[in-house]
Amino acid sequence: MDNHHLKLNPGKTEMIFIPAPSSNLLDFSISLGDTVVSSSPTAKNLGVVMDNRLSLSQNITAVSRTCRFFLYNIRRIRPFLTTYATQLLVQAMVLSRLDYCNSLLAGLPASAIRPLQLIQNAAARLVYNLPRHSHVTPLLTDLHWLPVMARIKFKTLVLAYQAAKGSAPGYIQRIIRPYTPARPLRSATSGRLAPPPLRVCTSRSRLLSVLAPRWWNDLPVASQIEAEESRPATRPKHSQSTLPTLLEQQGKYDAKSQEAKKINRAVAEYLCIDQVPVYTVEKPGFHQLIQQLNPRYGLPSWNYFTYTEIPALYNTTKQTILEQLGGKPYFSCTTDLWTTSTFMAVTLQFITESWDM
């Protein structure tokens, strides 16, 4: 350890004894300096709680407890968040913990995974602010969230894909190997993985060297070819956005920002072109429409459009008409003065030098 500039901390050292399935647990201890380390039923390694039966039940309980804590805190501020901001928080605080080292859960029965699935269901309902008994399947589909069991299988298949293409780390390549027949066969180019020996390949085995080849070989050949063809030749570089940056992007536009000015002009043009009353912007239905189209835009009052935006649009339109009529000695003008609408339409007609109307 001195060669690697490491120091052993006996006070934080944990020891776990993992016997064979048919063996009994042994209670023994070892001495590290002046500290006696006894065997424990559980031990934490890189944030994962391992138990002496490798059932990972303690880890599932710990992850569920932590996720419920974050869901409770997010629910308290949910009235002040948009749907997208809530989704970002849930994905950063909850789903990331469900996905962390979840390949260790591969092969566990659905009953063991159920607590994590209940956490994901509660997270989906929280994003859409729905009651606890709401049907969750369409919510997961709309959020593009795979169920927990499918997420575990997906991560295992990703490792299998990397092993089949030779891009996996060395320790993965040593236990998951491409299938190589004893003699030249067409199956040599099928992209299959070699199954492990029969002595370890049982129906209840949870070894990665067993599950990864089995699940990969069970995929249709078309899916394996599609995975190969959809892989980019060079991986694009992506900059990882931080959570504060993402939340800042969900705030309201500043009134002087270009985005807000562009939408203000579009609303003013709608009022003038369709000749609708200016107080339309105060109606609840119009407010709801704007919020659905762009939640970051704050709609100004009708006074702003009456005394600021529409006069500015009038001046711009007037300047455009004067530029088009510049140098034209004659033109005709018709209006609809008989109308009782707030707006008056004016039609201008003139003939160009090429005798075009």
Q: Give the angle 153-155-157 at the CA atoms, nearest 5°.
A: 70
pLDDT value of position 46: 85
**Least confident span in 201-215, 221-235, 236-250:** 221-235
pLDDT score of 117? 95
pLDDT of residue 148: 93
Measuring CA to CA, which residue among 66, 41, 63, 67 is closest to residue 54?
41
Looking at residues 111-137, what average pLDDT do you find?
Answer: 92
Check residue 199 and give its pLDDT.
60
> Over the chain, what is the mean pLDDT?
80
CB 59 within 8 A of CB 16: no
Q: Is the pLDDT of residue 62 over 70?
A: yes
> In this predicted structure, which of 7-11, 162-166, 208-212, 290-294 has the lowest mean pLDDT?
7-11
Of 153-162, 165-174, 218-227, 238-247, give the range with the top mean pLDDT.
153-162
**Residue 241, pLDDT score:** 56
* Better-predicted residue by pLDDT, 10 or 92: 92
Write the DSSP assignment of 4-70 as a string of letters.
TT----GGG--B-----TTSPP---EEEETTEEEEB-SEEEETTEEEETTS--HHHHHHHHHHHHHH
CA geometry: angle 41, 149, 44, nearest 5 deg: 25
The model carries a pTM of 0.59
Cα–Cα dist 266/293, whole Å: 13
In the prediction, which pLDDT does 337 show? 58
The answer to whether the beta carbons of residues 213 and 195 sit under 8 Å apart is yes
Residue 71 and residue 92: Cα distance in Å, rounded?
11
pLDDT digits over 330-354, tens only? 777 776 655 555 556 667 666 666 6
Residues 216/193, Cβ–Cβ less than 8 Å: yes
User: What is the CB neighbour count within 10 angstroms for residue 210?
Assistant: 22
Residue 320 vs residue 180, higher pLDDT? 320
Q: What is the pLDDT of residue 94?
A: 93
Determine which helix (DSSP H) or strand (DSSP E) holds 310, and give its type and residue range: helix 310-325
pLDDT in tens, 28-53: 777 777 777 777 788 888 888 888 88
Total Cβ atoms within 10 A of residue 259: 12
Residue 163: closest CA among 194, 201, 203: 194
Per-residue exposure over 99-114, b if at least 16 CB sit within 10 Å of its own CB, e if not: beebbbbbbbeeeebe
321 token code pair: 């008409």
pLDDT at 292: 84
* Residue 114, H or E segment: helix 110-128
pLDDT of residue 93: 92
Q: Which of 121, 122, 94, 106 is nearest to 56 (CA)?
A: 106
Q: What is the pLDDT of residues 255-280, one digit of tens each?
A: 888 888 999 999 999 988 888 888 88
Q: Does the pLDDT at position 227 exceed 60?
A: no
pLDDT band at residue 167 using 50, 70 and 90 as cut-offs: confident
pLDDT above 80: residue 303: yes
Residue-level pLDDT at 263: 92
Helix (H) or strand (E) holding 333: strand 332-335
Q: How many CB atoms lie within 10 A of CB 141?
A: 11
Which amino acid is present at 294? N
Residue with tokens 């000015």: 261
DSSP letter, residue 282: G
77-104 pLDDT tens trace: 998 888 888 999 999 999 999 999 888 8
Residue matched to tokens 């001046």:
315
Which range (66-70, 93-97, 112-116, 194-198) has the least confidence? 194-198
Enumerate residues 6+ apart whose C-beta is below 8 A from 92: 243
